[in-house]
Amino acid sequence: MLQLFNTLTGRKEEFHPLEPGIVRMYVCGDTVYDYCHIGHARSKIAFDIVRRYLAFSGYRVTFVRNITDIDDKIIKRAAENRESVQTLTQRFIDAMHEDYDRLGILRPDFEPKATGHIPSIIAMTRTLIDKNYAYVATNGDVMYSVSAFAEYGQLSGRQLGDLRAGARVAIDEAKRDPLDFVLWKQAKPGEPSWPSPWGEGRPGWHIECSAMTLDLLGTRFDIHGGGLDLKFPHHENEIAQSCAATGDRFATYWMHNGFVNVDNEKMAKSVGNFFLIRDVLNSGRVRDPEVLRFFLLSSHYRGPINYSLTQIEQADAALSRLYTALRDIEPAANHEPGDATRRFKAAMDDDFNTPDAVAALQTLAGEINRARANAPQVAATLAAELRHLGSVLGVLQSSPDAFLRKSASAGSEAPGGDAAIEQLIAARQAARKARNFKESDRIRDELAAAGVVLEDKPDGSTTWRRA
RNA sequence: GGCGCCGUGGCGGAGUGGUUACGCAGCGGUCUGCAAAACCGCGUACGCCGGUUCAAUUCCGGCCGGCGCCUCCA
């Protein structure tokens, strides 16, 4: 039985979808004005795992992840670049897809854009005004009145009074309450805008998610996810909007992933300590995108994770061990779920405990290594199990040799490529056959200097990988 | 100021009221022409101080240290 930590209640709860066997989930996506960094990757991978595991567990999953393609930062950046908002956002949407595809993050079933749901946004805003949850402020913006929603603060555990006492609440003359937030914003000259009952304008940030979930998932759905930083105010405001507008309960389970830190500090655009996904993947220090993915799975999704090259190297070593176990084994066509699968499921059922799930894979790799010499059929069966479980985490999807022969250390490429390596290995084989070990060791040293590690097998053949 | 999280062995990182996490690194061994990989074995743990308990890293309280949200943010 799957248990997941529900941020709304602060407890681990048994997971019961609204409709048996069917899960509908929504995850907050990105604002597309720049390239995605490792922090974005973590959130997307965390919920990609949730989705994959739910499907693995037999649920039919509808997965929605939005794109925020209109907001202040986008307008500002487009103006700086002297390009249209549409050109800018499309460029970064394409880049986002490229990055996420490389990381094995499955495309959502629906990937709505805010600008594609303007009529629903306007309709919901009108409903909120009609129900007295919203008002037109003195500056023409439509504001949500937080004091009208009795449950405001339930997700983030905050009291309105405490929030008002906070020193950092912006003072805005147009608001009746400093905590009120914008639903519909009056357009300034030259800004992208849409006609509305309140004049030309554009949506505020929070209303888009409420409108898109309503359009695609209805008034109630099972899981709503996003980064911890979205818990307040974004998700709090979504609840206030959706519950007030529809009278329904919105999402049953709220899930929030922890941050990626650098030197123990949150990775963020505003701090400037961020690493872009594409820069990391292209740095030459990451053998394969799966390494970055595996690194992000090495700690629990709710806790913080510290990004560093040392961590990446350790992830590379650990994942390479799994691939090494799969090498030279043809996985069996079928396999019965064994101890590893039971442990894997138990771990994942416990609020998606990926570190423990990975430990199950490592233990399985050890079993394969022990079985491979004396019980090849057993090894083939276990290898199939390992690959299958790996697919739930989105790793172990390459061929072992292809993975292990990629380089994890930039600048140590052997000249001439793989063909040259094979030639040198053949020359070394000849020297070994003639028991000219001085020459064979010389060739091995030469290859080692180029980052190529040789492994002689019992049958006399030699395989290779990159360090 | 309000709300919340964290502190596990050299590095990461799960977990548990009494029994092996797991990986990386290290040490010893097996295998190997020598290596590599693999396998076998080994080592240094649970921030500090109290309390509860037959027993606490694991529950409770306090302290110290680190971090997050309260403003855009995955």
Pairing label, strands A134-136, A142-144: antiparallel
Find which nucleotide's C1' atom is closest to A41's CA.
Answer: B74
The interaxial angle of helices A72-81 and A85-102, nearest 10 deg, is 110
Query: CB-based contacts of A421: which residues, under 8 Å, 6+ apart?
Result: A414, A447, A452, A464
**CA-wise closest residue to A228 among A155, A153, A302, A295:** A302
**In contact, A59 and A19? CB cutoff 8 Å:** no
pLDDT of residue A183 exceeding 60: yes
Reading the block at residue A371, the tokens are 């079985």
Q: What is the pLDDT of residue A173?
A: 73
Q: How many residues in total does chain A contain?
A: 467
What's the CA gap between A290 and A294, in Å, rounded? 6
Query: CB-based contacts of A134: which residues, under 8 Å, 6+ apart?
Result: A125, A128, A142, A143, A144, A145, A183
**In contact, A314 and A299? CB cutoff 8 Å:** no
DSSP 8-class letter at A183: E
Q: What is the pLDDT of residue A270?
A: 82
Span CA (A155) to C1' (B62), Å: 29
Span CA (A275) to C1' (B1), Å: 34
Q: What percent of chain A has pLDDT over 90?
A: 88
Could you identify the residue whose CA is nearest to the C1' atom of nucleotide B39? A370
Q: Is the CB of A39 under 7 A from strand B?
A: yes
Find which nucleotide's C1' atom is closest to A40's CA.
Answer: B74
Reading the block at residue A48, the tokens are 């990609």
Per-residue pLDDT of A184-236, as tens digits, reads 999 999 899 999 999 999 999 999 999 999 999 999 999 999 999 999 999 99
Average pLDDT over residues A80-88: 96
Q: Which of residues A381 and A160 earns the better pLDDT score?
A: A381
Arithmetic mean of pLDDT over chain A:
94
Its ipTM equals 0.95
**In contact, A49 and A301? CB cutoff 8 Å:** yes
Q: Which of residues A114 and A264 earns the better pLDDT score?
A: A114
Span CA (A187) to C1' (B60), Å: 56
